[in-house]
Chains A and B, each alone.
Chain A
Amino acid sequence: MTEQIQEALSRKYEAGFVSDIESETFAAGLDEDVIRRISAMKNEPEWMLEWRLRAYHNWLGMEEPDWAHVRYPKIDYQAISYYSSPKSMKDKPKSLDEVDPELLRVYEKLGIPLYEQEMLAGVAVDVVFDSVSVVTTFREKLKEAGVIFCPISEAIQEYPELVKKYLGTVVPRSDNYFAALNSAVFTDGSFVYIPKGVRCPMELSTYFRINEQNTGQFERTLIIADEGSYVSYLEGCTAPQRDENQLHAAVVELVAMDDAQIKYSTVQNWYPGDENGKGGIYNFVTKRGLCHTNAKISWTQVETGSAVTWKYPSCILKGDNSVGEFYSVALTRGHQQADTGTKMIHLGKNTKSTIISKGISAGQSNNSYRGLVHMGPKADGARNFTECDSLLIGDRCGAHTFPYIESRNPTAKVEHEATTSKVSDDQLFLCKQRGLDAEKAVSMIVNGFCKEVFKELPMEFAVEAGKLLEISLEGSVG
């Protein structure tokens, strides 16, 4: 089997096309002036610019973290362009009919026919292309329910009080190197507000796409679920195939007020680089949610893309009885490196968290789970359950687990289970003897391995995620 696996580990990246869209891109480099220009392009109020500049100065005084189990050449932050916008965006479209048809074709290629989604799935989609939010579908219907779902640049204009009140409260400006950078230069992203007691009438969804060369994508998402409300949100990401590495440093902040629930799902398929490890996206993302009393936040992620992933969607369980969940499938192949996991910070009484992490490594990739479970001194009766499973395909890849457990409360309970297994020759032989080819067999075995996580995804996306895994695994067996 090993021989088969070593054969052709490369497979074409299906979302790797470049779109020919005229765009306006800043020259590479970062200084105060660039930040002022970004802020001016977005027509931002003074307080926003001040906030960005403070973040920039925080960033200047910080060091890039090097503790993750990943290796990459030093990033030259002056070689990146911090703003790119499709030209036709200058007069922003009011509806899909006004969107550049070429841009819409891009999304069709990506398998996101907006009209269809609008009509059939009833999914409201916000699309962020390079740095600008293109269109947000379904706004009217959401408005009726009192739900705000719009580009964050627009929220800064239209709902400054909400943005001012919550921005940076979960992920502070100076939280970490990449979060500080994002705070200084973020260009767009989504903003969601669900009013008290409202169950958001549809899935909300954002697709991110990096198209321009040498641009970074720094999106910022802020979701606020007010008391007793519910929202399910999904983000998807792709990028064209390029030889240079591109930086993606996003920040996502979730606020779940008392009795509120937020379900946040990610299907991440950024370009992973070629078979020799050239190119690909650096995915350095800070995602964190704050739970008030009885609130619940679930993170579900399916990570198949990016050259390097550094990502720990976390929950701060501040309110009593609040619940945090993290379900993750991370697949690495070729020369991909992923260091991903979560942090569950238990502060309130009887807080509960569940972590299910499934790591799949193929090729010469490295896949690490890194997770922190912290039980604070007041977290009486808090509980955590962690299950961390790794599946190896072939014998040149690596799986690593770095669990950190800190308990300051004698009544708190923490459970940790970890397994490592290989797709065995016996399993492959059984499948082949039943008429299945090796590729089908591996994808079936891997899908079975991930089942616990897939069932947490919204139904239509669970199917997508399964397909994505299948495509990603193509060529990882001969």
Chain B
Amino acid sequence: MLTIKNLHARVEQKNILNNLNLAIKPGEVHAIMGPNGAGKSTLGYVLSGREGYEVLDGQVDFQGQDLLEMETEDRARHGLFLAFQYPVEIPGVSNMEFMKESVNAMRQHRGEEPLTAAEFLKKAKEACKQVQLPLDFLKRGVNEGFSGGEKKRNEIMQMILLEPTLCILDESDSGLDVDALQVVANGVNSQRDGKRSFIVITHYQRLLDYIEPDFVHILANGKVVKSGDASLAKQIEQEGYAFLGLDTSEEASA
């Protein structure tokens, strides 16, 4: 599905990723943990092709294609989805309009007919239910006046509608209460079908109680310093990152 080799990247002249390696097979769930400033969010942005994130070295193969050569929108159309940590507002553009354009852009890429308004509405309503958002969210402006939790659920709804092959969840648990956390996790779990892969970026083990990962990787100073199974996350929850000999003093989250 995804093979990252020797990835080096920088933002605003600052090196963030240093020789990062990671391999993800279809159907696997990989959790990425690590102290602030380790490069977790940067990894998500580099993979999805955000402007300003400059790749200095390395290769990324996504389903047999050179991911780093692809335009941002092409990566998305090939099935790479990023659930944002801080979803941005687009005033005046309804969620419905936005998602319909988006779904149809993906369909067009796959050579499928665009969905009609009625077909789309049916799917959107189901997705809305799955993340327990009231239907009037479809009519509201994209993220306009949504609470933090609503924004996160809205991201998961988009993921469900777009049916991506690789989902990157960037701290989809931050700022959520237990109930909302469960809704988000259920949404994600409903999409685990043995083929779709997930990268779950999180600070906290508690999300992993609900979304059980196949692998847990600890990211520090821009590279994977330790990998293991779900028990690694539990160990970190109890002992912190200190046992890895890492400097965990506060740095701005990247």
Residues of A within 8 A of B (CB): 1, 424-427, 429-438, 440, 444-445, 447-452
Given contacts A434-B99, A435-B73, A436-B101, 13 further A-B contacts (CB under 8 A): A427-B88, A430-B87, A431-B90, A432-B76, A433-B48, A433-B81, A434-B105, A435-B76, A435-B105, A440-B101, A440-B105, A444-B97, A448-B90
B92 interface hit (Cβ, 8 Å): yes
A150–B76 CA distance with the chains assembled, in angstroms:
55
A437 and B73: CB pair below 8 A? yes
10 closest A-B pairs by CB: A448-B92, A448-B93, A435-B105, A434-B102, A451-B92, A432-B72, A426-B88, A435-B76, A432-B73, A435-B77
Chain A nearest Cβ from B73, distance in angstroms: 5
A449–B92 CA distance with the chains assembled, in angstroms:
6
Picked from B51, B97, B98, B109, the residue with its CB within 8 Å of the CB of A1 is: B51
Residue of B nearest to A430 (CB): B88
B106 interface hit (Cβ, 8 Å): yes
A445 and B93: CB pair below 8 A? yes
Residues of B within 8 A of A (CB): 48-52, 71-73, 76-77, 81-82, 84, 87-88, 90-93, 97-99, 101-102, 105-106, 109, 141-142, 158, 162
Residue of B nearest to A449 (CB): B92
Chain A nearest Cβ from B201, distance in angstroms: 15
Task: Enumerate chain A residues within 8 angstroms of B98, measured Cβ to Cβ.
Answer: 431, 434, 444
Task: Enumerate chain A residues within 8 angstroms of B48, measured Cβ to Cβ.
Answer: 433
Task: Enumerate chain A residues within 8 angstroms of B105, measured Cβ to Cβ.
Answer: 434-436, 440
- Subset of 20 A-B contacts with CB under 8 Å: A425-B51, A429-B50, A430-B84, A430-B87, A431-B98, A432-B76, A433-B76, A433-B81, A434-B102, A434-B105, A434-B162, A435-B77, A438-B73, A440-B105, A444-B90, A444-B93, A444-B97, A444-B101, A447-B92, A448-B91
A426–B142 CA distance with the chains assembled, in angstroms:
13
- Main SS at interface, chain A: helix
Chain B nearest Cβ from A441, distance in angstroms: 9
Residue of B nearest to A438 (CB): B73
A437–B76 CA distance with the chains assembled, in angstroms:
10
Chain A nearest Cβ from B126, distance in angstroms: 19
A433 and B91: CB pair below 8 A? no
Task: Enumerate chain B residues within 8 angstroms of A430, measured Cβ to Cβ.
Answer: 84, 87-88, 90, 142
A434 and B76: CB pair below 8 A? yes
Task: Enumerate chain A residues within 8 angstroms of B72, measured Cβ to Cβ.
Answer: 429, 432-433
A224–B81 CA distance with the chains assembled, in angstroms:
57
Highest count of chain B CB atoms <10 Å: which of A1, A435, A438, A449: A435
A424–B52 CA distance with the chains assembled, in angstroms:
13
A450–B49 CA distance with the chains assembled, in angstroms:
29
Residue of B nearest to A428 (CB): B51
Residue of A nearest to B109 (CB): A435
B109 and A447: CB pair below 8 A? no
Residue of B nearest to A437 (CB): B73
Task: Enumerate chain B residues within 8 angstroms of A437, measured Cβ to Cβ.
Answer: 73
Chain A nearest Cβ from B228, distance in angstroms: 30
Picked from A424, A435, A449, the residue with its CB within 8 Å of the CB of B102 is: A435
Task: Enumerate chain B residues within 8 angstroms of A444, measured Cβ to Cβ.
Answer: 90, 93, 97-98, 101
Chain A nearest Cβ from B44, distance in angstroms: 10
Residue of B nearest to A454 (CB): B92
Picked from A429, A435, A445, the residue with its CB within 8 Å of the CB of B51 is: A429
Chain B nearest Cβ from A437, distance in angstroms: 5
A444–B90 CA distance with the chains assembled, in angstroms:
9
Task: Enumerate chain B residues within 8 angstroms of A438, measured Cβ to Cβ.
Answer: 73
Question: With A426-B88, A444-B98, A445-B90 as given contacts, are A433 and B82 in contact (CB-CB < 8 Å)?
Answer: yes
Residue of A nearest to B78 (CB): A435
Residue of B nearest to A358 (CB): B92
Chain A nearest Cβ from B111, distance in angstroms: 14
A435–B81 CA distance with the chains assembled, in angstroms:
9
Task: Enumerate chain A residues within 8 angstroms of B142, measured Cβ to Cβ.
Answer: 430
A447 and B73: CB pair below 8 A? no
A449–B102 CA distance with the chains assembled, in angstroms:
19
A100–B109 CA distance with the chains assembled, in angstroms:
46
Chain A nearest Cβ from B89, distance in angstroms: 8
Highest count of chain B CB atoms <10 Å: which of A1, A429, A445: A429
Residue of A nearest to B144 (CB): A448
A447–B141 CA distance with the chains assembled, in angstroms:
12
Chain B nearest Cβ from A447, distance in angstroms: 7
A451–B162 CA distance with the chains assembled, in angstroms:
26
Task: Enumerate chain A residues within 8 angstroms of B76, measured Cβ to Cβ.
Answer: 432-435
A430–B72 CA distance with the chains assembled, in angstroms:
10
A424–B143 CA distance with the chains assembled, in angstroms:
15
B91 and A449: CB pair below 8 A? yes
Highest count of chain B CB atoms <10 Å: which of A427, A432, A447, A452: A432
A103–B93 CA distance with the chains assembled, in angstroms:
39
Task: Enumerate chain B residues within 8 angstroms of A435, measured Cβ to Cβ.
Answer: 73, 76-77, 102, 105-106, 109, 162
A431–B97 CA distance with the chains assembled, in angstroms:
12
A425–B105 CA distance with the chains assembled, in angstroms:
20
Task: Enumerate chain A residues within 8 angstroms of B158, measured Cβ to Cβ.
Answer: 434
Task: Enumerate chain B residues within 8 angstroms of A431, measured Cβ to Cβ.
Answer: 90, 98
A431–B106 CA distance with the chains assembled, in angstroms:
12
Task: Enumerate chain A residues within 8 angstroms of B77, measured Cβ to Cβ.
Answer: 435
A415–B84 CA distance with the chains assembled, in angstroms:
37
A436–B50 CA distance with the chains assembled, in angstroms:
14
Chain B nearest Cβ from A395, distance in angstroms: 15
Residue of B nearest to A448 (CB): B92
B91 and A424: CB pair below 8 A? no
Chain A nearest Cβ from B9, distance in angstroms: 16
Task: Enumerate chain A residues within 8 angstroms of B82, measured Cβ to Cβ.
Answer: 433
Chain B nearest Cβ from A304, distance in angstroms: 18
A427–B50 CA distance with the chains assembled, in angstroms:
11
A429–B50 CA distance with the chains assembled, in angstroms:
7
Task: Enumerate chain B residues within 8 angstroms of A433, measured Cβ to Cβ.
Answer: 48, 72-73, 76, 81-82, 84
Question: With A427-B88, A429-B51 as given contacts, are A436 and B73 in contact (CB-CB < 8 Å)?
Answer: yes
A446–B28 CA distance with the chains assembled, in angstroms:
39
Task: Enumerate chain B residues within 8 angstroms of A448, measured Cβ to Cβ.
Answer: 90-93, 141
A190–B243 CA distance with the chains assembled, in angstroms:
84
Chain A nearest Cβ from B75, distance in angstroms: 8
Residue of A nearest to B45 (CB): A429
A154–B84 CA distance with the chains assembled, in angstroms:
63
Task: Enumerate chain B residues within 8 angstroms of A426, measured Cβ to Cβ.
Answer: 88
Task: Enumerate chain B residues within 8 angstroms of A1, measured Cβ to Cβ.
Answer: 51
A448–B91 CA distance with the chains assembled, in angstroms:
6
